[in-house]
Chains A and B, each alone.
Chain A
Amino acid sequence: MLPNYVPILILGAVALGFSVFTLVLSHLLGRPRPTAAKSEVYECGMPPIGTARERFPIKFYLVCMIFILFDVDAAFFYPWALVFRELGVFGFVEMLVFVGLLGSGFVYAWKVGALDW
């Protein structure tokens, strides 16, 4: 009996092989002939200004951070949902406390404006 993760490895290998094959084939067929103007960074025809390695708004970072913390929350939801029928009311109250605490953090972030754009 084959372990059940093997088909996924095969799938990954096939997908990788497919993409590498396609990229190489198109590289061979397309024959890149770069010129200075062609390989210039595209900024709607204008000469590029500065570099794209720019700073960007802290908003993105803040949202990502909140995402991480709620991702853990979601990760706890999954096993809980799996055994919920066994846990019954006990499990419900347990999770209610958990979500309540996290929810207060969510409300704080909301009130402070961390979720506004």
Chain B
Amino acid sequence: MSGSADLVTPALLLSLGLFAIGVVGVFLRRNVITVFMCVELMLNAVNLAFVAFSRWRGTLDGQVLVFFVLTVAAAEAAVGLAIIIAAQRNKDTLDLDAFNLLKW
């Protein structure tokens, strides 16, 4: 895996593309869980940017940061989905428009 080919710029473009797709998904989709998955997609795009920069700079800090992003993502998924389940039990729907109150 020597770095003869320059893959940094394509990787950043890919990261950008995934991020944009994630953003559009967050805007367009109605299901909370799908929106959540789009957020995960954006997180992954960021991870990719970290890895690409890590390769460009030749340092490893980017990779260590990915480690922590993964941890945050795991914590976020656990709590977020717990909230979604609790909310679904109250509202009996997963439509985002139904969750428009801070308190119920």
Residues of A within 8 A of B (CB): 3, 5, 58, 61, 65, 68-69, 71-72, 75-76
Chain A contact residues: helix, strand, loop or mixed: helix
Q: Give Cα distance in the complex from A21 to B82, angstroms.
A: 42
Residues of B within 8 A of A (CB): 1, 67, 70-71, 74-75, 77-78, 81-82, 85
A-B contact count (CB 8 A): 22
Contact between B70 and A65, CB atoms less than 8 A apart: no
Contact between B82 and A72, CB atoms less than 8 A apart: no
Taking CB atoms, residues of chain A closer than 8 Å to B67 are: 75-76
Q: Give Cα distance in the complex from A5 to B85, angstroms.
A: 40
Interchain Cβ contacts under 8 Å between A and B, 15 examples = A58-B85, A61-B81, A65-B82, A68-B77, A68-B78, A69-B74, A69-B75, A69-B78, A71-B74, A72-B70, A72-B71, A72-B75, A75-B67, A75-B70, A76-B67
Q: Give Cα distance in the complex from A72 to B78, angstroms.
A: 12
